[in-house]
Amino acid sequence: MSLSNSLWIGESSLLTRQVQLRTVGNNVANSDRAGYHRQTATVDANIPLDKGNLQLGSGVHVQNVVRSFDVALEGNLRNSIMEGGYQDQFERYLGMTEAAVSNDGTSPLTGAIGELAASLQSLSNNPESEVHRSTFLASAERVASAFNLQHSLLTDVRDGIATSATVGALPDKVVEANTLATRIADLNDRITKVELGFWQNNNQLAIELRDERDRAVSDLAKLVNITVAEQQDRSYTVQINGKDFVAGAAVADTLQADVTGNVASLKWASDSSDVGQDLGEMSGLVDSYNYIQGKITDTDNFATEFATMLNTQHAAGFDKNGAAGTALFDVTVPGQMKALISDSKLVAAADNATNSGDGGNALAMWNTLKTPSAALGNDAAVDRADRIVDAVAVERSRAQANLETATSTQKMFKAIIDERSGVNVEQEMTNMLEYQRAFQSSAKFVSIVDQMMQTVIGMV
């Protein structure tokens, strides 16, 4: 081997150590950046030189720069992110729903109905008392207000999710998902061009783009249940429920929110077919919307049945003038329940037309409130509001437990990935010192070879 070959070996070693040091420096610089994967310069020997019966080494080179990326672990983390996104939104809106139907665990509606029942009991014992008649009417007003307030509060929570296909938290998430899809498609195109195109040897650039793409995929996974597969052209195909969302450098379809008929769903923009979701924040918002709408319907049905029960019983009695009772409540418009009687003389407390001092019908109305009804799920009217509160509380408790589990799972996978793929600064410092010593040794080798060459030149 000539001295010039020795110089080439030394040069290859110096260049290799420079790349290794640069890679270490890049790792340290990005050590606190979310989604960054540790990079490593892989080194391989140059093609040896054949010298008769000898095969002499010709130095080393950096084969490529690779990132530490475990497909299985990243997939498990993505699944936990999707689950966490769903549970986070569902638990959040269940908390708002619980606050709408109860105040520190107590239902204002239950309190108002309880006051009405108490006023009826007092009225049955004092049917001619103007005070007790007026108290009953005031209680009826409070019941109507309590029903309307619960309807309004629940509607406000629901409308925070979506009032239309373009307004609300759900449509905002849809825009975010479509934007991320466009971003992933663009990164697919750039990665394919870098790794398979004219600049295919620029591994460092491809790695940075891959990290950027994986961050975008993680952000998308938080929103919607996706599956990801890498293709031969290095692009990702992203699917939702088996249908392409992103394919290569193109967005195959876009998402849109739909709340037609107060039923929330996610649809494909191309044909308005259901996306069919069960994970991710958007699915959590869809299920939250529909759950809250169910509670609005429960409240309105309760108001209708409550009014029907008392209107029917009140009509069976007689007022202070001996006339038959009229309707107490109007529930024609959901959420706008009205108490119809303001004149205390028109309260039909008696059960016969000739004795206004009889409180038999007031007692019958009291019994109506206390008697279980099949129309109210075999609950008594005085208990029905609490059943709604209890159902929400149980559902929220379940959601909180699911959220804690999803959060713990996500933290576990993040910790494992950080350990395997993240940057350990202490280890990088150790690697840096190793590469530095190798660089210094290579530099010394080159210096010695150069001195030898100068000696040989001087001998000529």
**Tens-digit pLDDT profile for residues 346-397:** 999 999 888 877 899 999 999 999 999 898 889 999 999 888 999 999 999 9
Q: Which of 7-11, 284-288, 371-375, 443-447 has the highest mean pLDDT?
A: 284-288
Q: Using CA atoms, how far apart are residues 386 and 367, in angstroms rounded to an integer?
A: 18
* Beta carbons within 8 Å of 138's beta carbon, 6+ residues apart: 119
Ramachandran area for residue 52 (φ above 0: left; ψ -120 to 50: alpha; else beta): left
Let me know if residue 75 belongs to a domain: no
In this structure, of 156-160, 196-200, 451-455, the range with the lowest mean pLDDT score is 196-200
Lowest mean pLDDT, pick from 26-30, 95-99, 237-241, 254-258: 26-30
Contact 41, 65 (CB under 8 A): yes
Please give the pLDDT value at position 335: 94
Q: How many residues appear in the chain?
A: 460
The mean predicted confidence, pLDDT, of the chain is: 89
- Answer yes or no: do 154 and 294 share one domain: yes
Q: Which residue has the higher pLDDT, 444 or 297?
A: 297
425 in a structural domain = no
Least confident segment among 52-61, 126-135, 144-153, 377-386: 52-61
Examine the domain organization and report whether 346 and 242 are in the same domain. no
pLDDT at 167: 94
The rounded distance, in Å, linking the Cα atoms of 198 and 62 is 19
Name the token pair of 269. 């923009």
Do residues 154 and 191 both lie within one domain? no
Residue 85 φ/ψ, nearest 5 degrees? -60, -45
Residue 323 sits in the same domain as residue 355:
yes
Both 334 and 399 in a single domain? yes
Main-chain dihedrals φ then ψ at residue 51, nearest 5 degrees: -125, 80
For the cut 80, the answer to whether the pLDDT of residue 139 exceeds it is yes
- For residues 173 and 134, membership in a common domain is answered with no
pLDDT at 169 over 70: yes
Claim to verify: residue 294 and residue 391 sit in the same structural domain: yes
Residue 247 lies in a domain: yes
pTM, 2 dp: 0.86
State the pLDDT at residue 199.
Answer: 53
Q: Which domain holds residue 222?
A: 169-258
What is the residue type of 368?
Answer: T
Say whether pLDDT at 40 is over 60: yes
Single residue among 258, 282, 302 that ends a domain in this structure: 258
244 and 330 share a domain?
no
272, part of any domain: no
- Shared domain check, 368 and 308: yes
Mean pLDDT of 79-102: 94
- Report CA-CA distances (Å) from 401 to 30, 170, 337, 392, 404: 35, 24, 37, 14, 5
Say which residues have a Cβ less than 8 Å from residue 133's Cβ, sequence separation at least 6.
123, 127, 320, 344, 345, 347, 349
Residue 74 pLDDT class (50, 70, 90 cuts)? confident
Q: Assess if residue 299 is contained within a domain.
A: yes
Q: For residues 13 and 452, what is the distance between their CA atoms, to the nearest angstrom? A: 19
Our count of domains for the chain comes to 3
Query: pLDDT tens digit string along 255-313?
Result: 999 999 999 999 999 999 999 878 899 999 999 999 999 999 999 999 999 999 999 99
